Amino acid sequence: MNIAYLSIGSNIGDRLHHLTKAVRALHAHDRIEVTAISSIYETEPVGYTDQANFLNLVLRLETSLNPFELLDVCQGIENDLGRVRDVRWGPRTVDLDILLYNNDNIESENLTVPHPRMDERAFVLVPLLEIAPDSIQPGVAIDDDGVVCWETVDGVERFLSVGE
Ligand SMILES: Nc1ncnc2c1ncn2[C@@H]1O[C@H](COP(=O)(O)OP(=O)(O)OP(=O)(O)O)[C@@H](O)[C@H]1O
Ligand SMILES: Nc1nc2c(c(=O)[nH]1)N=C(CO)CN2
């Protein structure tokens, strides 16, 4: 069985309802079992900032689908929940991104795994830390200041984000 981690976000309408519907739709699929879900985080928009706050979560699933079939399922769920694709990084009823699929590296026209921007996104790293601490690279830790993500560049630690 394959293990994948997905990020789900919503910032239009009833955000919690959209997250719930997306998780239920995944779990209802006969070749997917959702096996862990992070807490839900309210997050400020990243990238295109002139939009409402998001609710975000990360989940772990087991599946017999290959990564391209999984992407099709994710996009089908986005479409069913009324996702409109216009502004890049813009508002969306629901967005499902594949973060990791086993330890695979995939570079194709319509799918890149690990997700190419996941390491820059606290809205991904913080919930992922909750359910998959061993999956986070290069470094994440919890200390008295909260969650700290870093990478080491030429022997110097560079901090990526600090959350609550
Ligand atoms: N790991 C991945 N997960 C989901 N979609 C991916 C992935 N890699 C590439 N894609 C492609 O990215 C395209 C755009 O996806 P989408 O509109 O959800 O981007 P976005 O969420 O606005 O931005 P971002 O990719 O930075 O999260 C999709 O049509 C899909 O084919
Ligand atoms: N806080 C937050 N910001 C975003 C999000 C998201 O899910 N949460 N998704 C984006 C495109 O994938 C762009 N910016």
Give per-residue pLDDT as tens, 91-122.
788 999 999 999 899 999 999 999 998 878 88
ipTM of the complex: 0.96
Residue 143 predicted with pLDDT over 90: no
Model confidence at 164, pLDDT cuts 50, 70, 90, reads very low
Between 11-25, 28-42, 51-65, 144-158, the lowest mean confidence (pLDDT) is in 144-158
Ligand 2 centroid–CA 39 distance in Å is: 16
Residue 15 phi, psi (nearest 5): -60, -40
Q: How far apart are CA 52 and CA 49, in angstroms?
A: 8
What are the CA-CA distances from residue 47 to residues 35, 50, 57, 87, 112 (Å)? 30, 9, 18, 11, 19
Measuring CA to CA, which residue among 106, 93, 112, 100 is closest to residue 22? Answer: 93
The pLDDT tens digits of the residues spanning 36-95 come to: 998 999 999 998 888 899 999 999 999 999 999 999 999 999 999 987 777 677 678 899
Q: pTM score, two decimals? A: 0.86
Q: H or E stretch including 35?
A: strand 32-37
Q: H or E stretch including 25?
A: helix 15-28
Q: Which ligand is nearest to the CA of 10?
A: 2
User: Ligand 2 pocket by C-beta < 6 Å: which residues?
Assistant: 9, 43-47, 54, 56, 89, 95, 97, 123
What are the CA-CA distances from residue 69 to residues 2, 56, 105, 110 (Å)? 12, 23, 16, 12
Q: What is the average pLDDT across 118-134?
A: 84
Q: H or E stretch including 113?
A: strand 112-113
What's the pLDDT at 71?
A: 98
What's the pLDDT at 55?
A: 93
Cβ pair 111, 68 in contact under 8 A:
yes
